[in-house]
Amino acid sequence: MNKKTVWGTAAVVLVAGYGAATWYMGERARSSYQEAMNDMGKLLGPEVLVSQQYTKGFWSSQGKLVLQWTPPASEDEQDASGATATAAAQPAIRFTVENTVRHGPLAGWRPAAAVVETRLIAVEGADDPVRKTFAKVSAPTLTTVRHLTGSHDFALALPAGEVGEGEELVRWQSLAYRMKVNAGASRVHGDFDWPEFTMDLADKSEDDDRPAAAPAQRLAFALQGMKGEFKVQLEDGLWLLAPGSGKGTIGKLAITRAAGAAPGVAPAAPEPMVALRDLSYGVTIARNGAHLGWVTTMQGKGSVGPVALESLELNETVSRIDVEAVKLVQKALLDAYKTDPSTAVAAVEAPWIASLMDAVPKFVAALPAYAMKLLAKVDGEQGELEYGAELKRVPDATQIAEGAWGPALLNSSAVHASMRLPKAWLPRLAQAAGQQAPKPEDINALVDMAEAQGYIKQEAAHLTSAVRMEDGKVVLNGKAADLPFGRK
């Protein structure tokens, strides 16, 4: 057999082998796709997943599904007594989603069992206001890679866009979100980056204090330079809270307020409320037997109002969260999602309410605890604020049955708070509150009076205070007093 014959035979075998592998992986892709559709149908319900079809090809296949969402009844559909009236049927909005499945072993020119590109290609039933609101929004694209080992990669790309009209706008730059899931679907890790997200809204919090003709104040919220990464260990059916960790950075967080301008009048310069920068954060969720807990940290600098912060640090700890209670909350969330408001029974009889009520005693029996510590440095002086609470024992069942939740929780809990404040901050705090900076002699008089009444203590250049409530009593800077609803 000459070389040409050998090479020709090898090429035929190679092509035939690749074709067989492609056919086999195409069958596997169709089977996996159908399993995913079955799982989606169980999760969303038949009223949401209206239809789905799959057209298999040799090199690639096409899947198409139609999802339906019915908007809830508007809030003004109530009778004269204020009770919710029977809502008229709302027009359903249908979304058509297309999946392009490329078969392996070279799927989309990469070694993989299959590559799926998912795109929203049509929206039907939306009225003109909705279409106008979302006119500048492009649908995201989800790319799923099923590796030959059984693991998966997911990449979500959301193009830049904006939602809203007039002066009420939400804008964002393109978002990239990537995630990897191992073959056993027990470990997840990923990362994301989002260059910018902004909101411009009307501040209606003070509308009642202004004349009807006065223009509304404006609030602007901006996040810039957001990046993060995470890893999660999925176990025991937990997905709402699962052991893992995450960290990230935010280049800038800003909140500004501006007075509304009348027609033809130039708007006033925005007033900065919060301007933080170079923020970094981290969170770690750990499981200890039947309990979950997590620790959150954040560091940065910037300003709050007129007060410049040389540094800002936050530490938050939550502990003893019952795993079974978390599972019941997960179930309640899914049940609430599946509940049809137009056909549901009374709210207190809804299945998701029952799950939440079953979660409460488990949550309480674990004796959860919370603690927070905030540190800030201004003009070279550092201040500290701490507070927290924990259940020391299960609340009295008789008080709970009588509806006396407040006294029952206080009698069973320990609540604490403390501060360490530089005295030099007092003029700045007064200015931040919009008041004139008090004179030194006035400050000394106020501090002396507060100390004489036992509210604070003076320690050199700092003011301190600590309070703790436990067993129906409050201890303020070492002095105890009974609460009016303390233990009997």
Q: CA-CA distance, 454 to 207, in Å (whole number)?
A: 40
- Residues with Cβ within 8 Å of 63's Cβ and at least 6 positions away in sequence, in order, are 33, 52, 53, 54, 55, 98, 99, 100, 101
pLDDT at residue 262, as a whole number:
61
The secondary structure of residue 270, as a DSSP letter, is P
The secondary structure of residue 446, as a DSSP letter, is H
Q: CA-CA distance, 399 to 420, in Å (whole number)?
A: 37
Collect the ranges in the chain with pLDDT lower than 50. 3-18, 76-87, 207, 344, 346, 486-488
What the block records as the tokens of 128 is: 């003109």
pLDDT at residue 287, as a whole number:
95
pLDDT at residue 381, as a whole number:
92
pLDDT at residue 121, as a whole number:
86
Q: CA-CA distance, 410 to 417, in Å (whole number)?
A: 15
Q: CA-CA distance, 254 to 447, in Å (whole number)?
A: 34
Is the bond preceding residue 105 a cis peptide, omega within 30 degrees? yes
CB 455 within 8 A of CB 479: no
Q: CA-CA distance, 408 to 405, in Å (whole number)?
A: 5
CA angle (280 as vertex; 277, 283 as ends), nearest 5: 145
